[in-house]
């Protein structure tokens, strides 16, 4: 039974068959958000296209972008994005101890100073209104370079768009991380051994 606010549509037609086959190949199943966004295929194609293009950006470290995306998801409360981000960290061979600690990064000793700066920047961008300071940008620009910082900023902005849309539509976690037997994500305020 769907938990979404708009019931998933039946994914049909040639394009639907291709999308379902690709999803099953890459993810092992067809994600529920696909059915929700199927109601407006123009929106679906645009968001998938933006995601595919963003996945090819290479000026900024993949781990930094992934952890920033998960920080956005944790702050907004997008369980689907957080679960999927952890699953992607596994598939991209990132540091899973760090990935699972993102929801409680401030209390965790798993992160480097640069990673902490990136996570803080992601949260500052996610606030409404955003609360990014000149010092944050200057520090990250000095550490990453301008091209990587522009990429990180755009990546965080896309993460905000996706996470906020999923929360508004009632799209929730589908257990991707659990399907890989990954340890549960840490929760803010709880000590965990890392």
DSSP string, 75-123: HHT-HHHHHHHHHHHHHTT--HHHHHHGGGTTT-S-S-HHHHHHHHHHH
State which fold the 59-194 domain adopts: AhpD-like (1.20.1290)
pLDDT at 189: 67
Q: How far apart are CA 50 and CA 31, in angstroms?
A: 18
Q: Which residues contact 60 (CB under 8 A, 6 or more apart)?
A: 144, 148, 149, 151, 152, 155
Structural element, H or E, at residue 172: none
Q: What's the pLDDT score for residue 193?
A: 47
Give the per-residue pLDDT at 169: 98
The percent helix, strand, coil of the chain (3-state, each to 5) is 65, 0, 35
DSSP per-residue letters across 49-63: HHHHHHTT--SS-HH
Tens digits of pLDDT across the chain (194 residues): 458 999 999 999 999 999 999 999 989 999 999 999 999 999 999 999 999 999 999 999 999 999 999 999 999 999 999 999 999 999 999 999 999 999 999 999 999 999 999 999 999 999 999 999 999 999 999 999 999 999 999 999 999 999 999 999 999 999 998 888 888 888 886 554 44
- Tell me, what's the pLDDT at 174? 93
Q: Where are the domains of the chain?
A: 10-56, 59-194
């Amino acid at each position: 039974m769907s938990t979404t606010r708009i019931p998933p549509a039946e994914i049909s037609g040639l394009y639907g068959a291709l999308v379902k086959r690709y999803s099953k190949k890459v993810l092992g199943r067809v994600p529920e958000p696909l059915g929700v966004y199927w109601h407006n295929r123009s929106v679906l194609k645009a968001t998938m296209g933006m995601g595919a293009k963003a996945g090819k950006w290479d000026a900024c470290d993949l781990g930094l972008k992934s952890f920033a995306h998960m920080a956005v998801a944790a702050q907004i409360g997008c369980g689907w994005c957080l679960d999927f981000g952890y699953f992607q960290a596994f598939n991209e061979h990132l540091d899973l101890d760090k990935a699972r600690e993102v929801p409680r990064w401030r209390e965790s000793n798993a992160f480097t100073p640069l990673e902490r700066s990136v996570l803080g920047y992601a949260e500052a961008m996610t606030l409404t209104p955003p609360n990014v300071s000149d010092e944050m940008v200057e520090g990250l620009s000095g550490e990453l370079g301008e091209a990587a910082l522009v990429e990180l900023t755009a990546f965080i902005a896309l993460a905000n768009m996706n996470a906020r849309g999923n929360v508004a539509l009632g799209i929730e976690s589908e257990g991707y991380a659990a399907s890989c037997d990954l340890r549960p994500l840490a929760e803010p305020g709880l000590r965990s051994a890392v």
